[in-house]
Amino acid sequence: MGTSREAILMEVKLNIKRFDPELPSDNEWWQEYSIQINSNTTILDALIKIRDEIDGTLALRCACRASICGSCGMRVNGRARLVCKTRVESILKNNEPLNIEPLGNHSIIRDLVVSLDSFFSKIDQVTPYIVPDSEPETGEFIASNESMENLLTSMNCIMCGVCVSDCTVLEVDNKFIGPAALAKAWRFVEDPRDGKKEERLRYLNDQDGGIWDCTRCMQCVEVCPKGVAPMDRIMEMRESAIESGNKSTSGYKHTESFYNSVKKHGRLDETRLAVDSAGITNIPRLLDLAPIGMKALLKGKLPPLIPHKAEDKEKIKDIYKKVEEKKQ
């Protein structure tokens, strides 16, 4: 009889980042483990095997083991994943050790277990529940199937924190509300039963760390295990905020300047973009930009005061014309 593929064992090495808060010093280190697995072994299976059979001190968080609860988010080879749905064999390369570490942009409790206090405080920040304007006439609010189908993408979120882990903005600015919370905010902005859409958009538009602080790096879209695409939801809220008349922030001014610059010149006028984004009358903010401009000048990187025009500028104008006609 032939041996099934599942029964074939292979040896793999997992290099796990450890953390023990009780140690007075040197409380972070990498520890390598070798184990036997088969082709269907997930990274979570491997970690549980290490904890149960090799090192009982290894701390990790898991529950459903079916990518439903969102408990087992971790970084594998530098990228956040749900380890319960990631087979070891699928990312193993040349039998090199897999590097396993806790989620990024979270404080670590122990080993692979992170604190979710910051994560849920940001969720709370966006008022994650329906706030109706009045009592329903029939005892319940009726929403159409179409309107609820529109919300399904965001409602698939399982609060795993994977998108937050790999958010490049949160790495440098912890004021940013973050992709998970903003995707949750979109879910209520778009819910027809909610009566605070304008207030929500105004808050997210004006808030330091709101919708305009996303840099559109696509990391949250790439790592989300449920296809929520937080960045897309953030971009949709930007459009909704603009349509609602929220045009006072530097984020909107930046967008408008970028749009008009390419439309006029066929390419970006970087000098004008910086001035328009700050606000031409915002002297303190413009003075803050002066050191950056001086460094660019010394490095020979200062953009020209009069921007170059693209050779195919007329073709670009035609594209703008078609897009603007389509919007009408």
**Is residue 58 a part of any domain in this protein?**
yes
User: Which pLDDT score, from 0 to 100, does residue 106 have?
Assistant: 98
Residue 78 shares a structural domain with residue 170: no
- Supply the DSSP symbol for 212: G
Please give the radius of gyration of the chain, using alpha carbons only, rounded to the nearest integer: 25
**Is residue 248 a part of any domain in this protein?**
no
Instruction: Label the pairing between strands 73-76 and 28-37.
Output: unpaired
Round to whole Å and give the CA distance between 99 and 253.
42
Asked whether the predicted pLDDT for residue 235 surpasses 80, the reply is yes
Q: Considering the chain, what is the average pLDDT of its residues?
A: 92
Asked whether the predicted pLDDT for residue 143 surpasses 60, the reply is yes
The arithmetic mean of pLDDT across residues 211-229, rounded, is 97
Range of weakest confidence among 30-39, 173-182, 317-326: 317-326
User: Which pLDDT score, from 0 to 100, does residue 1 have?
Assistant: 43
Residue 99 shares a structural domain with residue 140: no
| Domain final position from 183, 214, 243 | 243
| Residue 239: CATH number of its domain | 1.10.1060.10
For residue 318, how many other CB atoms are within 10 A of its CB?
11
Report helix, strand or coil for 223. helix
Residue 198 shares a structural domain with residue 297: no
- Tell me the pLDDT band of 7, cut-offs 50, 70 and 90: low
User: Which pLDDT score, from 0 to 100, does residue 110 have?
Assistant: 98
Q: Which residue has the higher pLDDT, 269 or 184?
A: 184
Residue 124 shares a structural domain with residue 235: yes
Max mean pLDDT range (27-36, 132-141, 276-285, 303-312): 27-36
Report helix, strand or coil for 317. helix
- Supply the DSSP symbol for 225: T
- pLDDT tens string 170-187: 999 999 999 999 999 999
Q: Token digits for 167?
A: 């958010």
| Secondary element (H or E) of residue 242 | helix 230-243
Determine the structural domain holding residue 294 and report its residue range. 255-327
Asked whether the predicted pLDDT for residue 325 surpasses 90, the reply is no
Beta bridge partners of 35: 12
The arithmetic mean of pLDDT across residues 124-152, rounded, is 89
User: Which pLDDT score, from 0 to 100, does residue 168 have?
Assistant: 98
- pLDDT tens string 41-91: 999 999 999 999 999 999 999 999 999 999 999 999 999 999 999 999 999
Beta bridge partners of 29: 18
DSSP 51-105: HHHT-TT-----S-SSSSS-TTEEEETTEEEEGGG-BHHHH--TTPPEEEEPPTT
Round to whole Å and give the CA distance between 308 and 255.
20
Domains in the chain, number: 3
8 A C-beta contact, residue 80 and residue 103: yes
The structure's pTM equals: 0.86
DSSP 103-163: PTTS-EEETTEE--HHHHHHHHHT--S---SS--TTSS----HHHHHTTHHHHT-----HH
Distances (CA, A) of 22 to 19, 116, 208, 286, 313: 9, 20, 36, 48, 63
User: Which pLDDT score, from 0 to 100, does residue 4 have?
Assistant: 54
- Tell me the pLDDT band of 272, cut-offs 50, 70 and 90: confident
